[in-house]
Amino acid sequence: MTINGAFRFGLLGGLGVLTALLIGSALTTLATVITYVGFAFFLALGLDPIVRALEARKVPRPLAILIVVLAVIGLFVGFVFAIAPVIVEQTTNLYNSVLAFLTSYHSLGEMITAIQAVIPPSTLDLQATIDAIIAFLSDPANLANIGGGVLSVGAGFASALLGAFLTLMLTIYLVISLPAIKRAGYTLVPASKRENFIHIADQVVEAIGKYVIGQGSQGLANGVLSFLAMSLLGAKYPALFALIAMMFSLLPLVGTVTGSIIIVATQWLVDPTHPNTTLWVAIYYLVYMQIEAYVIGPMIMNRAVKVPGVLVIIAALAGGALMGVLGAIVAIPCAASALIILRQVVVPAQELR
């Protein structure tokens, strides 16, 4: 290779590296937008089976889409204007209850002594922990960091609300235009392979749709049953804890367990004078978790996505590590889609070799 040839080769290689870095930077900048679009598409695939079910009952598709869109908007608006005020009120009451608990003692030393009577110092040395917190807050540099953290939390909350609104709008648009998007995607496949591709793609869409409906139904059931159980048991703030139970139940594998622990621990904190109520709440969640683990969960996984238990665990862990909570939610239907492609494309191709 001549010097000029080597120079041209190196120059082209450098331009290739710069192009790759530029593309990577663009994808990083657009990561949030891509996440919104991907999650909205995921939700649209979950709503599409409902539209098709209405079509099967002789409802015209435009009317079926209108019904589903109005139902989604109604749920969103109903949550904001009906449930949100109750949640805000009960959150405020929860804050006041925790504050009253912390100020019910005449001195900090009295409160520490009372807590250490329940939790031994060998497990948690409360005095040492408080001393460390005071030392941390006494440093002006840490106070500046805390102030910046508070502003970050506020900005994050506003961004989450905007993201929820954008996702809702994108979901509605994708539900309306999903058939056109699918037809356009199918035209990109060679005509000789299009029929088989459409057959596999329809199975993938159906699996994702069933999973979204099943997981949403599981979360709704957990929230409703939690509200009824805690109302009957006389527990504090049933609406707030029902919302927590519903949201955590949407997370695969560990969501229900995590939410249950948070609810039971908080219930004991806000109502320590009635330990029997906390005990009954804990018993309820133990029973419910068994039902969800052995009845509801397997029904969703086996009928909707048909993913082996080991792959469910691996997919959820990998999705959570890559994309956080959203990754954990979408990882299981993605694994189901990969299995469908593996069984109907890769395995038959290997058999023909």
Let me know if residue 232 belongs to a domain: yes
Let me know if residue 158 belongs to a domain: no
For 240-244, the CB contacts below 8 A with 24+ separation are 240/86, 240/87, 240/90, 240/91, 240/94, 241/266, 241/267, 243/83, 243/87
- The parent domain of residue 271 ranges over 189-353
Q: What is the pLDDT of residues 136-148, one digit of tens each?
A: 656 666 555 555 5
Let me know if residue 122 belongs to a domain: no
Task: Find the helix packing angle between 191-233 and 238-249, rounded to 10°.
Answer: 150
Let me know if residue 255 belongs to a domain: yes
Let me know if residue 231 belongs to a domain: yes
Let me know if residue 206 belongs to a domain: yes
Q: How far is CA 14 from CA 1, 22, 23, 28, in A?
A: 18, 12, 14, 21
Task: Find the helix packing angle between 140-186 and 31-56, rounded to 10°.
Answer: 50
DSSP 122: T
Q: How buried is 230 (Cβ within 10 angstroms: 0-12 exposed, 13-18 middle, 19+ buried)?
A: buried
Q: How confident is the model at residue 150 (pLDDT cuts 50, 70, 90)?
A: very low
Q: What is the pLDDT of residue 90?
A: 64
**Dihedral sign, CA of 298, 344, 52, 186?**
positive
Let me know if residue 24 belongs to a domain: no
Who has greater pLDDT, 64 or 24? 64
Q: What is the pLDDT of residues 274-289, one digit of tens each?
A: 788 888 888 999 999 8
Q: What is the pLDDT of residue 216?
A: 79
Who has greater pLDDT, 29 or 202? 202
Least confident of 149-158, 259-268, 341-350: 149-158
Let me know if residue 85 belongs to a domain: no
168-191 average pLDDT score: 83
d(CA 99, CA 159): 29
Q: What is the pLDDT of residue 171?
A: 83
Total tally of structural domains belonging to the chain: 1
d(CA 267, CA 98): 11
Whose CA is closest to 204, among 58, 25, 333? 333
Q: What is the pLDDT of residues 39-67, one digit of tens each?
A: 788 788 778 888 888 888 888 888 888 88
